[in-house]
Structure 1
């Protein structure tokens, strides 16, 4: 069954934000989307040109029509425009739900558009806080919206600007005092790098930190040109605080792009979709942040201003993502992400880390060189078996070319080893380590038991 989800928000004729973005997001998450319009806008990727509000009585009538007939699993609010509309929404919701029977309600406190146009009357902010927030499961302000809302908290002067992870902690606590069950501050405009996150993690071990698409040390393979080190790279951090005080951080790479039109609408709609499917709040936010990030990453590049996201990316499964400025090595990245645990076991291994830092003991390195030389023999012998089992000259030639390449590599290996005082005799007489013997034996066993048409299970060809 498709869980019914309702959005109460304004429209965007260009399709990137508002109910248009919400409905596409609901569909992408397998939900049945419904909408109540609060305002019509004339807008595009360059900005909002005009706003035409719907009367509050008609907003309430729309909500009544939907809720009289359909049992919604979650509700999301976006642009509510003025106090009368907010009160109409609250009145309608209280009419249909008891205080204990409310479905999950996600409030995106839309105040200003990406282009700077006011979408909520200043005098309506207090109404939003005092009347709607107490009904909400989650509010999702961005940095500027959170700073505006903080002026209505008891500690209004404590956090005049949100500019660090520590200030986000205090801000979420104060925003929680305004009535919602949980607060998610979107940190797209808070400058944070991985080093900041690591430091924060050490100082706050009780905070759950979810890293999606972030790589730790030794992930330079995905860097382009003279980019900052991994620890210095700017990231996007969203912070969730729940009513009992637990904090979760969702971190992901920063994407340098103008395709951010409707990101707030999209994220809140995605969270509502996940909550409608009975996901816990932390998992709902995690899934929604990943969905939104990938929507930005795969943006269609529409319009002359801040372009929209690709809301329907989950519906078109692509084996290998397209190459882009923010993802220059999509195939390599896909391989790493799909085998992240195994990859980290290798690149975070003590041997690799000490080697990268230039402090690996020489005897360890010379041992590695000798074992690698012995491995090359096994590698060549395995392809010798492939040549022996081949039934055509092209197949034999292919295996032979690889053997010749391995022989060239062994020569380069001997030259390199000599720089460390390792002679050919040392290489040839080196005692095989357990790992070398085990892996070499596996290669030969596979070569003996398999054939050129049906590889032995577990053998990568």
Structure 2
């Protein structure tokens, strides 16, 4: 058996970003560097650059499942990351299909409410009411500060994240916070762990949130704990952010996991 075949199989269900800075292409690059084998399922086609978002076209739930079905039949997929997706109804159908066909699969949801260039995809406010059926079926959700504020119904973000963690662990990403910028917070069962940055300066990148959640997914697929997966992914993302000064980063694992 070849070495690559021995790697865990992971899946990204996300948008196709032609820049490869975010979405499926970024996730696959991240999976590869984190020593897993990645499958890519397209949920939307986007028209964009690294700094400008023009439009997107959604794929239907049938089109998404048609892509997943043969892969789930042939391969044992250890973990899946779900990014940009049309709405909660599609999300629930996708999760149900995953759970039906591979009951032990680990699912990381990276909610994409707005493109980094400013284009709004969803407005999932009052999110706990609508997302509770989702949270009960996944292993982690990774909102940033504005996303948690919106999905939490404008409730204070730490309070909202703590409440949500009774149903599903929450990694509150700190890149958009006004204070303690770069510090992430992992909530599990209403308990919080602070994950401080290991660098003092970073260069902003298109798709950094995608990279973080993809690195977590890959690490979970290798049976690391959630806390260790988040710590590893944070270091990987910091390395990605500082790979150059442009908006498009380079993927390379340069530290011991």
In structure 2, distance between residues paired with 1:175 and 1:138: 10
Q: 1:83–1:123: 8 Å Cα contact kept in structure 2? A: no
Task: From 219, 225, 228, give the equivalent of 1:283.
Answer: 228
Other structure's SS at 1:38 match:
strand
Shift of 1:121: 5.7
Report 1:114-129 matches (<5 A). 114-120=116-122, 122=124, 129=131
1:267 partnered with 2:212:
yes
Task: From 209, 227, 237, give the equivalent of 1:292.
Answer: 237
Structure (1 or 2) with the greater helix fraction: 1
Shift of 1:246: 3.3
Match of 1:329 in 2: none
Other structure's SS at 2:183 match:
strand
Match of 2:99 in 1: 94
Match of 2:3 in 1: none
In structure 2, distance between residues paired with 1:191 and 1:279: 31
* RMSD across aligned positions (CA): 2.2
In structure 2, distance between residues paired with 1:95 and 1:260: 36
Other structure's SS at 2:90 match:
helix
Shift of 1:236: 1.4
Structure with larger Rg: 1
1:49 partnered with 2:54:
yes
Sort the Cα spacing of 1:173 and 1:125 in 2 relative to 1 into closer, same or farther, 3 A: closer
Report 1:8-407 matches (<5 A). 8-97=13-102, 101-120=103-122, 122=124, 129-151=131-153, 157=155, 159=156, 162=157, 168=158, 170-177=159-166, 179-180=167-168, 182-193=169-180, 235-243=181-189, 245-252=190-197, 253-255=199-201, 257=203, 259-299=204-244, 301=246, 307-311=247-251, 313-314=252-253
Shift of 1:84: 4.1
In structure 2, distance between residues paired with 1:150 and 1:123: 6
Other structure's SS at 1:274 match:
helix
In structure 2, distance between residues paired with 1:112 and 1:144: 9
Q: 1:80–1:120: 8 Å Cα contact kept in structure 2? A: no
In structure 2, distance between residues paired with 1:121 and 1:247: 26
Q: 2:205–2:241: 8 Å Cα contact kept in structure 1? A: yes
Q: Which runs of 5+ in 1 are unaligned?
A: 163-167, 194-234, 302-306, 318-461
In structure 1, distance between residues paired with 2:73 and 2:111: 26
Higher RCO, Cα 8 Å, sep 6+: 2
In structure 2, distance between residues paired with 1:127 and 1:88: 17
Other structure's SS at 2:182 match:
strand
Question: Please, what TM-score do these two structures have when normalized by structure 1?
Answer: 0.51
Question: Please, what TM-score do these two structures have when normalized by structure 2?
Answer: 0.89
In structure 2, distance between residues paired with 1:51 and 1:291: 29
In structure 2, distance between residues paired with 1:30 and 1:106: 18
Shift of 1:128: 6.2
The total of aligned residue pairs comes to 249
1:358-385 CA-partner distances (Å, limit 9, x unpaired): xxxxxxxxxxxxxxxxxxxxxxxxxxxx
Other structure's SS at 1:188 match:
coil
In structure 2, distance between residues paired with 1:47 and 1:124: 29
1:117-149 CA-partner distances (Å, limit 9, x unpaired): 122365896786133221111100000111112
Other structure's SS at 1:10 match:
strand
